[in-house]
Structure 1
Amino acid sequence: MILAVGICAGVVLYIDQNIVTSSTKFAEQSGQLLPPKPQFTEQQLLGQNLFKANCASCHKPNKRAVGPALAGVSNKYDREWIYSWIEDPQAKIASGDAAALQIYNDFNKTNMNAFPQLSHEDIDAILAYADFYL
C-alpha cells in the first residue's frame, strides 16, 4: 500500500513537472509569457481551508450558487455587519435589517446556516480568500 502511494505520488509529481516544463517551453518558443502562479498569503490559505469546510456547499468565490458569490463582499458591507450576519443570519433577517432581507429575498428565501463558531479572524481569512478572486 505504501509503495503504491509512493508510486502514485511520484507519477503525479513527474506529470506536473513535465506539464509545467512543456508549457513553459511552448510559451518561450511562441514568444508568449505565462502569468505567474498565484500565491496565497497565510491568511488566504487559512481562509481557503475554512471556506471549503464551511462555505463551499452554498457559495463560490466568484460566481452565484445557492448563495451569493463571496468575492467583493468585504467591500460591499460593513465588516461588523458581515460578522453578525455570518454568526446569526436569521437574527439579522428577523430584526428587519434591510440588507439581510434583500439577500434573503434575492436567494429565494433560502436560510443560511449560522456559524457562531467562526471567530472574526476566521471570517476575515475567508473574505481574504474570496477577495483573491476579484
Structure 2
Amino acid sequence: MKKILSILAIGVLLTSCGEKKEEKKGGFDMQRTKTEDKATSASKGVPVDMDNEGIGPFKDIEFSDIDTDLAAAGEAKYSTVCTACHMAEERMIGPALAGVYDRRNPAWVMNMIKNPTEMLKKDPIAKALLEEYNNAIMLDSGLSEDDTRAIAEYLRTL
C-alpha cells in the first residue's frame, strides 16, 4: 500500500511541476479601467485648450502655493463625490484627473465641477469628453463654490 501511495504522490508531483499551458478563452474581455498617463494630451480628438475657461462662475483663476488645509478638505469632498467615476491615475467612467491642469485651464476645471450640465451642453471640450467617454454624463453634485475650490486645490496635489 505504501508503494502505491508513493508512486501516486510522485506522479502528482511530476504532473504539477510540468510546463503550464495557458488556455486562451474566447469571448468578450471587459476591463473596468485602463491606465491613462496623467500627462496625456488630448485623445480621440479632445482638444487641449488652456485658454478655454468654460461656462460658469469661475474666471481668471490663478493658483499660488498649495493650501494644504484646503487640499485636505478637497480630498475629503473628492472621496465622497468624485471617486464613483474618477481615479487619479486611471481612466474609469470619467477621465483620470492627475495632471488635469496640464490639459485644462483651472477655471475650466472648476466650472466643470460646479456647472457640468451647462458645460456639457455648450462647451466644446466638455462635449468632446462626453463623446469620448460614451456619453457618460457628469452629474451636478450641487457643490458650493467653496467645495469646488477645495476639490480644485486637491487636484493640484495629484
| TM-score, normalised relative to structure 1 | 0.59
Cα deviation, residue 58, structure 1? 0.7
Q: Give the one of 100, 103, 114 matched to 2:140.
A: 114
Q: What is the 5 A alignment of 1:3-42?
A: 41-42=68-69
User: Unpaired segments of 5 or more residues in structure 1?
Assistant: 1-39
CA distance in 1, matches of 2:101, 2:89: 13
Q: Which amino acid aligns with 1:111?
A: I
Is the contact between residue 61 and residue 131 of structure 1 (CA under 8 Å) also seen in structure 2? no
Number of the residue aligned with 1:43:
70
Q: Does 1:129 align with 2:129?
A: no
Structure having the higher helix fraction is 1
State how many pairs are aligned: 92
Q: Give the one of 98, 113, 123 matched to 2:124.
A: 98
Percent same amino acid at aligned positions?
A: 26
Is the contact between residue 73 and residue 127 of structure 1 (CA under 8 Å) also seen in structure 2? no
Structure 1 pair 128/76, CA: closer, same or farther in 2 (3 Å)?
Answer: same
User: Unpaired segments of 5 or more residues in structure 2?
Assistant: 1-66
CA distance in 2, matches of 1:74, 1:116: 23
Is the contact between residue 74 and residue 150 of structure 2 (CA under 8 Å) also seen in structure 1? yes
Structure 1 pair 118/75, CA: closer, same or farther in 2 (3 Å)?
Answer: farther
Number of the residue aligned with 1:79:
106
Q: Give the one of 62, 65, 69 matched to 2:92.
A: 65
CA distance in 1, matches of 2:93, 2:120: 18
Structure 1 pair 124/71, CA: closer, same or farther in 2 (3 Å)?
Answer: farther
Structure 1 pair 123/87, CA: closer, same or farther in 2 (3 Å)?
Answer: closer
Deviation beyond 6 Å, 4+ runs, structure 1: none
Is the contact between residue 94 and residue 133 of structure 2 (CA under 8 Å) also seen in structure 1? yes
Cα deviation, residue 129, structure 1? 2.3
Cα deviation, residue 126, structure 1? 1.8
Q: Which amino acid aligns with 1:66?
A: I
| TM-score, normalised relative to structure 2 | 0.51
Larger of the two Rg values belongs to structure: 2
Q: Which amino acid aligns with 2:105?
A: D
Alignment RMSD (CA, Å): 2.0
